[in-house]
Copies of this chain bind each other. A is one copy, B any other.
Amino acid sequence: MTSLASALNPVSGDVLLDIQHFYARQMFLLDENRVAEWLDTFAEDGVFASTALPEPLEGRAAIERLTRAGVDARRQRGAVHRHLLTGLHAERRPDGTIVARSYVLVVETLPEETSQVWASTVCQDVLLRHGDGWLVRRRHVSLDRKGHALPVLEGM
């Protein structure tokens, strides 16, 4: 029997860079409230799970509802969020999908206030090749802020 660890293979440099680029664009789309384009980075049956959510969101429609609610909530507060991704680690599974882990620090800026850390998270994705790009098949976000349930509204 093959263990999970041994079933993962390194990705090539080109793939790692490509995934970095994918995330740079994906996070920017969310932060700019470009929800439709952001949703297009998920598989149609993509799943978004988070320790801040009571249960996973299954499919783009479910992900869209909560994402739009998050955008509305931020707009009402005048808040700008930036999802700062570091520490990207990616490996290939035997079926060709990619397991990618990263730190995503969410920084919030409110009008007339200084920016501050809003959440420290670990993001674990399963990515599918799609044309010359990628799609998120499954995302799992773990919030470091374990004792505090974040609003369900936020995409990351």
Contacts and interface: CB of A to CB of B under 8 A. Distances in A.
The oligomer's copy count stands at 3
A156 to B, nearest CB: 13
B117 A144 contact: no
A88 interface: yes
Contact of A24 (B24, B88, B107): B88
A84 B107 contact: no
A84 B47 CA distance: 26
B14 A144 contact: no
B21 A89 contact: yes
A9 interface: no
A84 B86 contact: yes
A23 B88 CA distance: 9
Contact of A145 (B21, B103, B114, B117): B114
Interface of A: 13-14, 16-18, 20-21, 23-25, 27-28, 78, 80, 82-90, 101-103, 105, 107, 109, 111-120, 122, 144-148
Q: Which 3 residue pairs of A and B lie closest in terms of their CB atoms, listed nearest first?
A: A111-B147, A109-B144, A115-B120
